[in-house]
């Protein structure tokens, strides 16, 4: 998105503001004596028999004399980032729905408050002004070309916000793409193009190579598809002076039928988005690259489809993973942990300081949290705590779940080293984590993110689309916290 940003340190009362046609006014709890369009706001509030403080909860939209729209919202000091993003999304939606070419943002308060409000509003505006895949015949996207910020002029150019927007947008664009347009072959081509564009090192482990390497867990899932175009893709970004070496791993199931344990239609709908974890990983990699973070990132993408057919793996098969562990197949719809198992082994063999994985992995995490938050599980309690904090900063809420070893007894198998899962239900999100942990070598500190909030009807936090790119902002803040 090509967007011109104009920052103006003058107060939000200057004449140029009154020529703007789409204006967001971000207010503080203290009523401004020289508030732009203050008479208009008060007149509308009086007609509604409301009070000024009502804007703490619900933004107010008012028609401007020049046929434009103004949106007023109050951000209280005690709001966390998620709450700020939600209110700003509500305030901006009526403005952005008109697909304006220009938007004005006015911020009030002391300098620190104005900086925080300007950055948050700029992020919410730009992340919701991105063009996303649509195959509607009549839809014509009109880009937002200019944002003018009144009331705060920073010494930087908001590049760190633009980087996060770029990562979130890439994640959503890939995730929304229809499955016939994002097969593993096509996806791999897109990734190769991204690697060339952004200067990432790039290598692929295709099915023949994985078979020779003994990656039986991944291969079991990929063998059911024709063509057998599944692969583990490895990308690398390295700063000239990296402080840490971090691996990010993403589940990239381009379509999930459930295999022989086939999903009913209700639960197969939307399964082209089962590659969201890999899209989150790519979004984090892009944002970290554009921010120039002082880190080495190895990005590992487990790209496959879970199909049904004569060659598809089935219940009671026993396969051998890359680390030599044998796995008894219990449910073919638990394919995500299979492709991640060998991918995590590859990632851990590079001896990074940390491994962060992202996956739309279990229905039980959705049962536990719903679709408003995502859960993390870690083999280091301090890493899980750090993740909760990173989520608060990013405005993407994270809940930590236990990794206690007694859960793993449920995965005891009479014929193999471990069961893939159980059929009894229960805490499958924890079972999945205990399973994945068995494939990490060298005792690497590892954080698993189960993306239960990857899709929420009506949007979530800053983002107004159902597919919201959750995890990119959190993952970016997580990496930053690990560099301190």
Q: What are 321-351's pLDDT values in tens digits?
A: 999 999 999 999 999 999 999 999 999 999 9
**What average pLDDT is seen over the chain?**
94
What is the three-class DSSP state of 429? helix
Query: Which residues, at least 6 apart from 39, have a Cβ–Cβ distance to it below 8 Å?
Result: none
pLDDT score recorded for residue 6: 75
The total of other beta-carbon atoms located within 10 Å of residue 8's CB is 17
The total of other beta-carbon atoms located within 10 Å of residue 165's CB is 28
Fold of 163-483: Aminopeptidase (3.40.630)
Q: Is the pLDDT of residue 161 over 70?
A: yes
pLDDT per position as a tens digit, 53-87: 577 788 999 999 888 999 999 999 999 999 999 99
pLDDT per position as a tens digit, 423-470: 998 899 999 999 999 999 999 999 999 999 999 999 999 999 999 999
Main-chain dihedrals φ then ψ at residue 65, nearest 5 degrees: -60, -25
List where CATH 3.40.220.10 sits in the chain. 4-153
Q: Is the pLDDT of residue 9 over 60?
A: no
pLDDT score recorded for residue 130: 96
Q: Is the pLDDT of residue 157 over 90?
A: no
**388, 385, 422: which is closest to 407 by C-alpha?**
422
Could you tell me the CA-to-CA distances from 239 to 290, 384, 478 in Å, in that order? 11, 26, 17
Beta strands in 194-352 (DSSP E): 201-206, 231-238, 244-256, 295-306, 318-320, 326-328
Provide mean pLDDT across the span 340-367. Answer: 98
Question: From CA 57, how far away is CA 43, in angstroms rounded?
Answer: 19
- pTM for this one? 0.96
List where CATH 3.40.630.10 sits in the chain. 163-483
Provide mean pLDDT across the span 248-274. Answer: 97
- Given a contact cutoff of 8 angstroms between Cβ atoms, the answer to whether 397 and 317 are in contact is no
pLDDT per position as a tens digit, 93-139: 999 999 999 999 999 888 899 999 999 999 999 999 999 999 998 87
Q: Which residue in this structure is represented by tokens 């107010």?
A: 60
Q: What is the DSSP letter of 55?
A: G
Provide mean pLDDT across the span 261-285. Answer: 98
Both tokens of 378, joined, read 């870690």
Task: Give the H/E segment covering residue 353.
Answer: none
Total length of the chain? 484
pLDDT per position as a tens digit, 186-211: 999 999 999 999 999 999 999 999 99
pLDDT score recorded for residue 33: 62
Give the residue numbers marked as catalytic. 263, 337
pLDDT per position as a tens digit, 14-46: 677 888 999 999 998 876 666 778 778 877 777
pLDDT score recorded for residue 45: 77
As its CATH architecture, domain 4-153 has 3-Layer(aba) Sandwich (3.40)
């Amino acid at each position: 998105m090509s967007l011109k940003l104009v920052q103006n340190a003058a107060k939000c009362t200057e004449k140029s503001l009154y020529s703007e046609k789409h204006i967001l006014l971000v207010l503080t709890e203290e009523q401004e004596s020289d508030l732009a369009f203050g008479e208009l706001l008060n007149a509308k509030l009086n007609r509604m028999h409301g009070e000024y403080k009502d804007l703490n909860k619900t933004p107010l939209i008012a028609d401007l004399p020049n046929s434009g729209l103004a949106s007023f919202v109050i951000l209280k000091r005690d709001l966390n980032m998620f709450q700020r993003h939600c209110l700003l999304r509500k305030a901006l939606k009526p403005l952005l729905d008109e697909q304006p070419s220009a938007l004005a943002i006015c911020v009030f308060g002391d300098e620190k408050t104005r900086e925080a409000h300007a950055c948050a509003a700029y992020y919410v505006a730009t992340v919701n002004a991105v063009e996303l895949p649509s195959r509607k015949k009549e839809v014509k996207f009109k880009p937002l070309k200019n944002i003018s910020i009144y009331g705060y002029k920073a010494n930087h150019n908001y590049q760190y916000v633009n980087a996060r927007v770029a990562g979130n947008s890439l994640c959503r664009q890939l995730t929304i793409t229809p499955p016939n347009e994002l097969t593993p072959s096509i996806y791999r081509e897109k990734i190769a193009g991204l690697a060339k564009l952004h200067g990432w090192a790039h290598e692929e482990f295709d099915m023949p190579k994985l078979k020779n390497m003994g990656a039986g867990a991944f291969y079991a899932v990929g063998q059911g598809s024709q063509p057998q175009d599944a692969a583990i893709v490895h990308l690398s970004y390295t700063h000239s002076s990296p402080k840490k070496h971090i691996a990010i791993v993403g589940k990239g199931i381009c379509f999930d039928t459930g295999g022989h344990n086939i999903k009913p239609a209700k639960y197969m709908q939307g399964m082209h988005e089962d590659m969201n974890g890999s899209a989150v990983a790519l979004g984090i990699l892009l944002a970290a690259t554009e921010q120039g973070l002082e880190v080495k990132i190895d990005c590992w993408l487990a790209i496959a489809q879970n199909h049904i057919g004569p060659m598809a793996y089935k219940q009671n098969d026993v396969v051998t993973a890359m680390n030599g562990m044998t796995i008894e197949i219990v449910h073919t719809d638990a394919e995500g942990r299979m492709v991640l198992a060998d991918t995590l082994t590859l990632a851990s063999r590079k001896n990074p300081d940390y491994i962060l994985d992202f996956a739309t992995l279990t229905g039980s995490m959705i049962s536990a949290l719903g679709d408003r938050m995502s859960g993390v599980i870690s083999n280091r309690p301090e890493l899980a705590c750090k993740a909760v904090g990173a989520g608060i900063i990013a405005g993407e809420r994270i809940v930590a779940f236990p990794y206690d070893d007694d859960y793993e007894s449920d995965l005891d198998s009479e014929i193999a080293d471990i069961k893939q899962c159980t059929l009894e239900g229960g805490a499958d999100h924890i079972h999945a984590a205990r399973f994945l942990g068995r494939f990490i070598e060298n005792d690497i500190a590892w954080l698993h993110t189960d993306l239960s909030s990857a899709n929420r009807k009506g949007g979530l936090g800053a983002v107004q689309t159902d597919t919201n790119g959750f995890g990119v902002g959190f993952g970016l803040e997580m990496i930053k916290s690990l560099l301190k």
